[in-house]
Amino acid sequence: MDFNFTEEQTMIRDSLARLIKDQYDFDTRRKVVASKDGWRPEMWAQFAELGLLAAPFSEEDGGLGGGPIDAMVVMEEFGKGLVVEPFLQTVVLAGGFLKAGTEAQKQDHLAALISGERVFAFAYAEPKGRYNLADLETTATKDGSGWKISGHKAVVIGAPWASHLIVTARTSGGRRDAKGVGVFIVAKDAKGVTTRDYPTVDGRRASEVHFDNVTVGADAVIGDPSDSLGLVEKVTDEAIAALCAEACGAMKVANAQTVDYSKTRKQFGTPIGKFQVLQHRMADMFIEHEQSISMTYMATLKLEEDEVTRKKAASAAKVRIGQAGRFVGQQSIQIHGGMGMTDELAIGHYFKRLTMIDSEFGNVDHHLKRYTELSAADVAVAAE
Amino acid sequence: MNLEFSPEEIAFRDEVRTFIRDNYPQELVGLGNREDLTREQFLAWHKILGKKGWSAPAWPQKYGGTGWTSTQRYIWSEENARVDALMPLPFGISMVGPVIYTFGNEEQKAKHLPGILAGDVWWAQGYSEPGAGSDLASLKTTAVRDGDHYILNGQKTWTTLAQHADWGFFLCRTDPSAKAQEGISFILVDMKSPGIEVRPIKLIDGTHEVNETWLTDVRVPVENLVGKENEGWTYAKFLLAHERSGIAGVARSKRGVERLRTIATQETMDGTPLIKTDEFARKISQLEIDLTALEFTELRTLASEAAGKGPGPESSILKIKGTEIQQRLTELTLEAVGNYGAPYARGMMHDGSNEVGVGPDYSNFSADSYFNMRKTSIYGGSNEIQRNIISKMILGL
């Protein structure tokens, strides 16, 4: 057992932290988020140059030989800086799918992803599907050697910036069946793709994406088009682990800013940080952050284990971090008092990001339910 | 980073498992969660481990520790918890032992460490007083120098299992004019010394686990002072941080969750096993998830200890979360047994009685355990004090 980072991972962390400090200060971020594009492609190019986009991929796939821990390191720093660029969508999610793709797909898409030329978004959720990855009304029907895709994908994070979409669609069976889920790569400029772009409450951009008989070739299919739910679950579990790391970064800064604020803000002639009731609350915030780090390590380290272990780990982490993020976010605002309600202070933005993280890829209730069902399945298997 | 055990660690685990299977006393099986055992029962496993050289996994090898890595220690506690083994009492191994080998002189080490390791000497802790609980520094018991002796006077309370104790470690005020935390000394006391009286305190679960200890003109040789006079507070804090690092009880709580799951498959509501009801199943899930977070926090702490950092204020996290989980576990267990939480098993037993409890076996003592475990958020520095430690030492508030 080993909880140390490699030299490379430490280097990634340090150089990224420096970059964020120099070029991603809060005021700059605010301006970027409010700008027309809402992100900085030139920042993306710098990430590529630093090797961030290559870090989690194996050398055979053109990467630097890292893995989920490298993604964790990056995402934690992104969380600290409230970075909006779509590392999770492009590198963790699309990258996760492409790792399972064909050699041709890797050579085409993965190479362009790693170099920073191609940006992806993951179109999986639907207006009525909530967090169920198999609840799909979007369909993909056989069309000669290729496929025709039709449907509506909801809140596709990062889609306005993306050149390509990874799309889940039902190829057979009934709505919510486990079998019959396919995964497709679709160029956003393909005929029949329309988007409605909008900002999200936490400073990112998303789209409602409509597919109207969009034709793709056989080379657009990742994995088995009739049975890819397992792959979708694996990749989203990887995204959950990365998202947990982002939450840890955001909690760390939220806690630090709250502690600092409580040392300077006076009430009744005393810094509010001297009041025991607030000290205990900040101690609890600290504990929640530490427990979140532990869960992030745990989930990240179990991504390669058997399916049930991996899923339980991801769900456990998502539950704990959803709860921790809400607690830290809400208490940060409370302790900042009225100042916490103002847009000009960073703390409210950390709160908003932590709040959104809870609902991404399933909130506390969803994952508590999934964990419970997996535990029951575990017991049933053991009893056989 | 990785979670895998190396082949050596797996071999170690097998060795440990075999040793426990072959050597754990049969008559103690099933008693691992009880507080009302005899001195012999409490010490039996400790003595076996002492002979094997395994009674103090965390001590430096130089003083009789095992030299195990943090991972090996983790494996050790997991394997013991698997069979609900009674672990050595903390007073000697986790508390006074580390203070003696860290701050004591050579004579003290030679005199006391072997008995602690072997499980021959039972230690009691003399920290709390009626007027000094979480505010420990306000303690009043005095030690006044008289030639080559100290004369001790005062009253200690919550001296756990002192009815069996051979020796005690006491915090005493040696300089009454100094500020509260200065002027305290750490003194080892032979519990057979004239002037010591141990009186039982009966607790709400019906057990006699703690005592009041009265000290009236107790003469203690000056050589029993550990470290320097008036600097005992430093050693006291060191001891508490050590105590806290073992206090998380993760392996045991994991075993407790397993037990709870078994109970919840047998108890039913409207004909459905509790484990299959959403409400109860999710309570267990939440508990298990929080326990996983604690487990990995402990592993991180162990890893940083292995890197040469002693237990710091972070151990307060383990104390707070570990004890909260232990409490929730007994709370859910009591909830699970339903009506059969009510019979008072200890109340049905007379001395030497073999009377069988009512209800399923697992329901016996479920309420007692729940009542008893309320102590965990109070002892070892209350959880409120732990939050003070975090806010002051880590957050700088």
Domain boundaries, chain A: 7-118, 121-226, 230-383
Domains in chain B, start-ordered, CATH in brackets? 7-88 (no CATH), 123-231 (2.40.110.10), 248-394 (1.20.140.10)
Interface contact A3-B293, CB threshold 8 A: no
Mention every residue, 6+ apart, whose C-beta is less than 8 A from residue B279: none
Q: Nearest residue of A to residue B72 by CA position?
A: A1
* Partner-chain contact B288 A1, CB within 8 Å: no
Q: Do A316 and B288 touch (CB under 8 A)?
A: yes
Q: Do A295 and B296 touch (CB under 8 A)?
A: yes
> In the 8-state DSSP scheme, what is residue B216?
E
Fold observed for domain A121-226 = Butyryl-CoA Dehydrogenase, subunit A; domain 2 (2.40.110)
Which of A69, A292, A320 shows the shortest C-beta gap to B1? A69
Residue carrying structure tokens 């013991």: B80
Long-range contacts of B140-145 (CB under 8 A, 24+ apart): B140/B173, B141/B170, B141/B171, B141/B172, B141/B173, B141/B215, B142/B172, B142/B173, B142/B174, B142/B176, B143/B170, B143/B172, B143/B173, B143/B174, B143/B185, B143/B187, B143/B220, B144/B174, B145/B174, B145/B222
Task: Give the closest residue to B388 by CA, choosing from A329, A275, A8.
Answer: A275
Nearest CA in chain A to B261: A379
Closest CA–CA distance from residue A286 to any residue of chain B (Å): 8
What are the chain B neighbours of A297 within 8 Å (beta carbons)?
A: 1, 296, 300
Q: How close, in Å, is residue B183 to chain A by CA atoms?
A: 27
The chain A residue lying nearest B273, using CA atoms, is: A376
DSSP SS3 for B209? strand
Homologous superfamily of A7-118? Acyl-CoA dehydrogenase/oxidase, N-terminal domain (1.10.540.10)
Q: With contacts defined as CB-CB under 8 Å, which chain A residues touch B244?
A: none
Q: Are B241 and B312 in contact (CB under 8 A)?
A: yes
User: What is the structure's pLDDT at B206?
Assistant: 85
Among A154-158, A159-163, A335-339, B31-35, the range scoring the smallest mean pLDDT is B31-35
How far is Cα B109 from Cα A317, in angstroms, rounded to an integer? 45
Which pair of tokens denotes residue B118? 């072997």
Q: How confident is the model at residue B352 (pLDDT cuts 50, 70, 90)?
A: low
Distance CA B377, CA B287 (A): 17
Instruction: Kindly determine whether residue A290 and residue B261, on different chains, have CB atoms separated by under 8 Å.
Output: no
Chain A: closest CA distance from residue B261 (Å) = 9
Query: Which residues of chain B does A291 touch, with a Cβ-Cβ cutoff of 8 Å?
Result: 290, 293-294, 297, 317, 321
Interface A-B, measured as beta-carbon pairs within 8 A, has a size of: 123
Q: Specify whether the CB–CB gap between B370 and B330 falls below 8 A.
A: yes
What pLDDT score was predicted for residue A163? 98
Number of Cβ within 10 Å of residue B180's Cβ equals: 14
B20: CB partners within 8 A, 6+ apart: B79, B80, B83, B85
- Report the complex ipTM: 0.92
**Identity of the amino acid at B239:** L
Checking if the pLDDT of B241 tops 80, the result is no
CB neighbourhood size of A21 (10 A): 12
Residue contact A302–B384, C-beta within 8 A: no
DSSP string, B273-342: EGGGSHHHHHHHHHHHHHHHHHHHHHHHHHHHHHTTPPP-TTHHHHHHHHHHHHHHHHHHHHHHHGGGG-
3-class secondary-structure state, position B107: helix
CA B189 vs. chain centroid, Å, equals 20
- Say if residues B64 and B101 touch (Cβ distance below 8 Å): no
Verify whether the Cβ–Cβ distance B293 to A379 is below 8 Å: no
| Helix (H) or strand (E) segment spanning residue B19 | helix B7-23
Question: CB–CB of A375 and B314 under 8 A?
Answer: no
Which residue among B71, B296, B397 places its CB closest to the CB of A273? Answer: B397
pLDDT at A379 over 70: no
Amino acid (1-letter code) at residue A304: E
- Which residues of A fall below an 8 Å CB-CB distance to B? 1-5, 69, 259, 262-263, 273-274, 276, 279-280, 282-284, 286-287, 290-295, 297-298, 300-302, 316, 319-320, 368-369, 371-372, 375-376, 379
B interface test, pick of A2, A3, A306 with most B CB neighbours within 10 Å: A3
A301/B2 CB distance under 8 A: yes
Contact status, residue B236 vs residue B103, Cβ threshold 8 Å = no
Percent of chain A with pLDDT strictly greater than 90: 97
The arithmetic mean of pLDDT across residues B254-281, rounded, is: 95
Residue A273, min C-alpha distance to chain B (Å) = 6
**Model pLDDT, residue B65:** 95
Q: What's the gap in Å between the CA of A81 and the closest CA on chain B?
A: 21
Distant-in-sequence, close-in-space partners of A357: CB < 8 Å, separation ≥ 6 = A243, A246, A247, A250, A321, A322, A325
CB contact under 8 A, A372 and B2: no
Which percentage of chain A shows pLDDT scores above 70?
Answer: 98
How close, in Å, is residue A115 to chain B by CA atoms?
Answer: 27
Contacts of B5 in chain A (CB under 8 A): 1
Asked if B5 and A287 come within 8 Å (Cβ–Cβ), the reply is no
Closest CA to A91 of A123, A120, A49: A120
Nearest-CB residue to A368 (from B70, B285, B392): B285
Question: Taking 80 as the threshold, does the pLDDT of residue B244 lie above it?
Answer: no
Confidence at residue B240, expressed as pLDDT on a 0 to 100 scale: 82
Give the best residue of A265, A275, A294 to mutate against chain B (max B CB count within 10 A): A294
DSSP-assigned states of every residue in B74-96:
HHHHHHHHHTTPPPPPHIIIIII
Model confidence band, residue A381 (pLDDT cutoffs 50, 70, 90): low
Region B173-179: mean pLDDT is 94
CB contact under 8 A, B289 and A320: yes
- Answer whether A131's CB lies under 8 Å from A361's CB: yes
Interface test mutation site (partner B, options A372, A373, A374, A379, max chain B beta carbons within 10 A)? A372
Residue B55 phi/psi, 5-degree rounding, is: -80, -20
pLDDT tens-digit map of A86-115: 999 999 999 999 999 999 999 999 999 999
* Inter-chain touch B1–A297, beta carbons under 8 Å: yes
Annotated catalytic residues of B are 243
pLDDT digits (tens, 9 = 90+) for A288-301: 999 999 999 999 99
* Band of residue B30 on the pLDDT scale cut at 50, 70, 90: confident
Give the distance from residue A277's alpha carbon to the nearest chain B alpha carbon, in angstroms: 10
Cβ-based contacts of A379 with chain B (< 8 Å): 261, 265, 275
pLDDT exceeds 80 at position A384:
no
Q: Which residues from B are below 8 Å from A286, CB to CB? A: 390, 394-395
- Packing angle, helices B315-337 and B232-245, rounded to 10: 50
Q: Which residue did the predictor score with more confidence, A223 or B305? A: A223
User: Does A177 have pLDDT greater than 70?
Assistant: yes
Is there a contact between A106 and A46 (Cβ–Cβ < 8 Å)? no
C-beta atoms of B276 and A371 within 8 A: no
Averaged pLDDT score across all residues of chain A: 96
Q: What is the mean pLDDT of chain B?
A: 92
Which class is A230-383 in CATH? mainly alpha
What pLDDT is stored for residue A35 in this prediction?
97
- Rounded to an integer, the average pLDDT of B349-371 is 81
Closest Cα of chain A to B7: distance in Å? 11
Q: Strands, DSSP E only, in chain B?
A: 123-126, 142-146, 149-156, 167-173, 184-190, 196-202, 208-221, 225-226, 268-269, 272-273
